[in-house]
Amino acid sequence: MLNKFDFFNREPASKKRHRGAGGRAQGRPCHMRGKSLLDIPIGEKAVIRGHFSGGAVRQRLLDLGFVPGREIEVVRVATLGCPLELKVAGYCVTLRRTEAYQIEVEDERRG
């Protein structure tokens, strides 16, 4: 199992990458090297690495428990494939694809 406070113990290598892509700057290009949430198949789990969204979206995601280090499960997608239902910390949250791809994750099987 993953340490839930992984956020504090991350290796320096992964830190460097996030420089400047911080929370408040909206509309910055997103140079994601890892997997985004969209790459996780339905029913699988992954661990949140960081956010590439900004402003209110980022704040709302953090408030809802999308804290880096947390485990997240892709529960299902809607009929037309767009909003995703994600399980985080025991409850379900819906997200559109346009927000989901801004969440960088680590695949649990590899991490």
Partner 1 sequence: MSAEAKKAMKDNFLVALAGQQNAGKSTTYNMITGANQHVANYPGVTVDKKVGSYREGKIRYEVVDLPGTYSLTSFSLEERVSREFLLEEKPDVVVNVMDATCLRRSLYFTFQVLEMNFPVTVALNMMDVAASQGLSIDLKELTNRLGVDVVATVGRKGKGKQALKAAIRKAVNQESYSRPVVIDYGDLETHAKALEEQLAADASLGALYPLRWLAIKLLENDSEAIKIVETKHTKGKIIVDDALARRQAFEDETGIDTSDYIVACRDRVAGEIVDACVTKEADSGQPVSERIDRWVLNRALAPFFLLATVYLIYELSIVQGYELTKYTWPFLAKFRDLVAGVLPPAGLIEDSLLRSMVLWMVDSANTLLNYVPIFLILFALIAILEDSGYMARIAFILDRIFHSFGLHGQSTLPFILGGVFAGGCAVPGIMSTKGIPDERSRLATILTVPFMNCLAKIPLYTLLVNIYFAEHKSWAMFFISTITIIMALIIAKILTTTVLKGRETAPFIMEMPNYHAPTFFGVAQRSLERTWEYIKKVGSIVVAVSLCVFSLLQFPGLTDERMDHYGNSMNKAIATYDAKIAGNAYADLATGEKMLPLLNLYDDYKRARMNASGKDGAASVDSSFKEANPATFILIKPRKDKAAKVVNRALRKLSSSRKSLRRKIKEEKIKTSFFGMIGRSLEPVTKYAGFDWKVNIALISSFAARESSVATMGVLYQQGADDNQTLEQRMDNESQSSGMNSLHALAVILFFALYPPCLAATIMVKVQTGSYKWMIFAIFFPTAVGFGVASSVFTLGNAIGANGITMMKGFYGLALGIALVIALVHKITSDKVSASYEYQTSNQ
The count of chain residues that interact with partner 1, using the rule CB under 8 A, is 57
Each residue 3-22 as x (binds partner 1 by CB under 8 A) or -, in order, gives: -xx-xx---x--xx-xx--x
Residue 30 binds to partner 1 (criterion: CB under 8 A): yes
Amino acid identity, position 61: L
Under the criterion CB under 8 A, does residue 83 sit at the interface with partner 1?
A: yes
Exposed/middle/buried for 72, CB within 10 Å: 0-12, 13-18, 19+? buried
Tokens of 6: 């992984």
Question: Contact between 47 and partner 1 (CB under 8 A)?
Answer: no
Structure tokens belonging to residue 19: 């420089």
- Which residues, in sequence order, are CB contacts of 26 under 8 Å at separation 6+? 53, 54, 55
List residues binding partner 1 (CB under 8 A): 4-5, 7-8, 12, 15-16, 18-19, 22-24, 30, 32-36, 38-39, 50-51, 55-65, 67-69, 76-83, 85, 89-99, 101
